[in-house]
A and B are shown apart, each in its own frame.
Chain A
């Protein structure tokens, strides 16, 4: 083992450097840096004898740093950029994309045919029908050799008397050599270059853009200069005419300004914020009301079959959420749903659960209460068991009724330990993306908004919409909203921590 260690470290170091170089060569210096940092710390941790504890900690801590902490920071950073489907690439890649664009000069294309010559092929170019001009022939090309190097291939004019070639390949055989043909650049004696442009033709490809030394691009056709503008994130002319695609740049607080000061954004944003708070608050309220009542009733020793009841009432928690939410989606369907079938049979009504905003919100609260009360029930059951029985004996002597017991003894005693858990439940529902996304997908939508926004959207489903489902794919704006959500979650978590500490202090 001892002798193996250092050679192994050296080999791993080289492997790491190779990977880093790979990322760097792919134009991603930040990833290269990240891989380098992680790899180097792994080598230090496992290579040196001192860091014993970190050998055990490293994988877990790294996982959390890379996939929990880093995405948080990265989100904050994206919130200050214009990252979106229109500004997706880095400036270098946007420039490379523009430089790749080219036009094909149809009039100057030449038909080609391939003629076997031993194991190689000769390529013959023929002017299109009706126009005259010389034919050209290439040297023997090893097209079937996978290592064929591209590069300029000199073409020669076919002289009369020397124009007999073997039978040309048919279309299917030609297509089989397509990849090799696409790599060729043919150079005519006039120094004009031709490239593969179609299954039968080689043509003249003219690049649309020319790079200038100062980083700007010149459009070949019109000779207009487009300079990269690092404020707007586009290559644009002095008059401000923009070229797609744009590139990613920092835009400071613009996303936040848009949320707070652009009237078209602020309206839906504030409504969605209010609904998010209401949704989380009411869910916790209803789930607690149902769950706590059940916990109290099921703690009543005179009642038989309590274990059976508890198991049956726990079931909603055991069914995977994505399945029960979709089941409700089907049951609430206006036309084919079983709930409306029952309501129609009994009351003769068919409520539009998904298109009426108030009903949609009520439905979300009903479903979320169903999903959430078992958790509260379990928590309260545990807390009620810890209440000393002599308190109830004393109240019984005083002639108190069950309701008095509940409000004067049970609630005050479990309220304190329950509060941090309820805050956690509030924070969870504040970001209950799965429920909204699967049940209503935020619909019905507000009318007349610039970006689609739903009446039942909560903040986190709204950001998902902005980032992933809307055609604009505005990652920057979505990240700005996410950052605001982080702040709120952080406040809630700190409040929670404080309360828990106060509780511990009281207990201690």
Chain B
């Protein structure tokens, strides 16, 4: 290390460690607190943050199991959390698969083909993506209400409408896949074409197998993006049995019916897998963030 260190170096390092641990404690407090709350009996009790008595009642409710409380009343799960989780996963899986399919083919055209207005189309896609979907909610609602009048299975209150609404958000993914395709030498496909392969065959049988890693990344990104999406789902889905997790979770914390403990268990149950997926995918996500950001 070339920097000349002074005598106060040791103190500074100790100070930095202490400060960082305090900060980490403050930062992680909400996450640790919610785990402890989910194991604490009752929905209202405050007091010790480390539960003196472990109760699995909230977890039972989150998993959809009824139980009998101390007074002999049957306590039923307040909300169908597992159903919501299933709805979320179903919508996210289908949307992510379609998003990957759509953006891969488009990225192939952008990376490998020449056509008119290529730069213009690419830039307008990026510009369009900057407009938050939350601002166009009125129009999205009106569009699906109109569609639903003729095609009921694609109207308001259907999962199909939510999936279809998410298919617009492909610009970032096209950009990511395009970048990856450009790192693969064109010669390989050209050899295939010399051997008589069509464009589609060169794409499907030569390029795609080599691009599987980036397709996985885009799938995970799209999947997480859909799971945590709230605004569109909240206007298209209203009935309890139809909700996704992101829309349904807020019903736990209504002032009139405050189910803090039940919420904590449901939050840990549903949040933990997503967090783990995110941490595993972190490396790609971060590189995507910085790369996309600097370029765009």
Contacts and interface: CB of A to CB of B under 8 A. Distances in A.
Contact of B263 (A54, A67, A330): A330
B146 A309 contact: no
B5 A326 contact: no
A269 interface: no
Interface string A473-501: 00100110010011001101100010010
B46 A309 contact: no
Interface string A326-370: 111111010011100100000000000000000000000000001
B108 A56 contact: yes
A326 B27 contact: no
B150 A28 contact: yes
Contacts of A333: 258, 260
Nearest to A392: B3
Interface stretch (A113-121, A281-289, A299-307): A299-307
A319 B27 contact: no
17 contacts: A22-B150, A56-B109, A60-B102, A64-B128, A78-B142, A315-B31, A322-B228, A370-B30, A420-B294, A420-B296, A421-B293, A424-B130, A427-B130, A460-B134, A463-B135, A468-B137, A468-B141
Majority-rule SS of B interface residues:
helix
A397 interface: yes
Interface in A54-84: 54, 56-57, 59-61, 63-64, 66-72, 74-75, 78, 83
A433 B135 CA distance: 9
Contacts of B106: 56-57, 59-61
Interface stretch (B59-67, B69-77, B186-194, B271-279): B271-279
Given A53-B113, A320-B271, A321-B228, 9 more contacts: A53-B114, A67-B167, A304-B17, A317-B278, A331-B33, A337-B46, A341-B46, A467-B141, A489-B135
A370 B27 contact: yes
Interface in B21-80: 23-24, 27-28, 30-31, 33-34, 37, 44, 46-47, 49
A478 to B, nearest CB: 5
B168 A66 contact: yes
Given A60-B105, A336-B44, A378-B289, A71 B143 contact: yes
B149 A302 contact: no
A447 interface: no
Majority-rule SS of A interface residues:
helix
Interface residues of A, number: 100
A52 B199 CA distance: 9
A26 B17 CA distance: 69
Given A61-B106, A71-B140, A330-B253, A336 B258 contact: yes
A316 interface: yes
A174 to B, nearest CB: 30
Interface in B211-262: 224, 227-228, 230-231, 234-235, 245-246, 249-250, 252-253, 258, 260
A486 B102 contact: no
Interface in A253-301: 294, 297, 300-301
A323 B267 contact: yes
B127 A493 contact: yes
Interface in B135-167: 135-143, 146-147, 149-150, 164-167
B227 A319 contact: no
B103 interface: yes
Given A31-B150, A312-B24, A301 B1 contact: yes
A486 B9 CA distance: 51
Contacts of A460: 132, 134-135
B138 A67 contact: no
B120 to A, nearest CB: 12
B136 A482 contact: yes
A309 B294 contact: no
B16 A297 contact: yes
A63 B33 contact: no
B91 interface: no
A476 to B, nearest CB: 9
Contacts of B149: 26, 28
Contacts of B296: 420, 500
Nearest to A399: B4
B136 A71 contact: yes
A322 B230 contact: yes
A216 B125 CA distance: 47
A45 to B, nearest CB: 12
A375 B289 contact: yes
Interface in A415-471: 417, 420-421, 424, 427-428, 431, 433-434, 437-438, 460, 463-464, 467-468
Contacts of A437: 230-231, 234
Contacts of B137: 463-464, 467-468
Contact of B135 (A61, A304, A392, A431): A431
B230 A63 contact: no
A176 interface: no
A330 B168 contact: no
Contact of A26 (B46, B131, B150): B150
B201 interface: no
B130 A489 contact: yes
Given A60-B102, A320-B271, A330-B263, A68 B128 contact: yes
A324 interface: yes
Nearest to A28: B146
A301 B16 CA distance: 12
Give the 3 A-B residue pairs with the shortest CB-CB distance, closest first: A67-B168, A60-B106, A56-B109
A240 interface: no
B293 A424 contact: yes
A317 B136 CA distance: 26
Given A67-B164, A318-B279, A463-B138, A431 B132 contact: yes
A489 B131 contact: yes
Interface string B171-207: 1001000000000000000000000000100010000
A444 to B, nearest CB: 13
A235 to B, nearest CB: 22
A322 B245 CA distance: 9
A303 B15 CA distance: 11
Interface in B1-17: 1-5, 9, 12-13, 16-17
B260 A475 contact: no
A142 B195 CA distance: 70
B211 to A, nearest CB: 14
A378 to B, nearest CB: 5
A326 B279 CA distance: 21
A486 B131 contact: yes
Contacts of B114: 53
A393 interface: yes
A378 B139 contact: no
A4 interface: no
Contacts of A52: 113, 199
Interface in B266-296: 267, 270-271, 274-275, 278-279, 282, 286, 289-290, 293-296
A23 B150 CA distance: 6
Contacts of A198: none
B170 A64 contact: yes
